[in-house]
Structure 1
């Protein structure tokens, strides 16, 4: 079970429940993947209202890796996220919200 107070978000990936979390290491990977030089720049990009599919993928990968998943972005190309792209985007937004203080 994902613990919202710990910043965790559950995702069903290829019919398997996994936990995502934006640890410091995962955030560093996310900054690099999105070409941001700080957490402030990363948040500004994500809160700007123009989040791309690449951004959502990078967030999901970072969250999965923060949750202990050993994979890479290339491993998700053919993976099935339950709920599809809309659910992936919702989970990515929830992951950011929980990482930065909102336990909802």
Structure 2
């Protein structure tokens, strides 16, 4: 089960439920991979809807690595919920990396 208190988000890839998390190392890798000027630049892409499919895949790959899932190829993978769910999970990963859940939530 994904734990929002630790920044985790669940995603089903090829029929297997996986827990994703953006660790500090995953965030650094993500920042470099997407050639973002800063993490806030990356956050801004998602807040304003200026993200691309490449951004979504990069966030998910970083989240998979942060969650301990190495070598998952998303290019040909079946993601439950399709592209919209992939984008939602990527956005949720970013949100959970930079906010604390409210008490009682």
Q: TM-score, normalised by structure 2?
A: 0.88
Q: Secondary structure at the match of 2:36?
A: coil
Q: How many residues align?
A: 102
**Map 1:1-104 → 2, pairs under 5 A:** 1-71=1-71, 75-103=73-101
Cα deviation, 1:15-48, whole Å, max 9, x if unaligned, reads: 0011100100100111011101322222233323
Segments of 5+ residues of structure 1 without an aligned counterpart are none
Segments of 5+ residues of structure 2 without an aligned counterpart are none
Cα deviation, 1:43-62, whole Å, max 9, x if unaligned, reads: 23332321111111111111
- 1:102 Cα deviation from its structure 2 partner: 4.7
Cα distance in structure 1, aligned partners of 2:24 and 2:31: 10
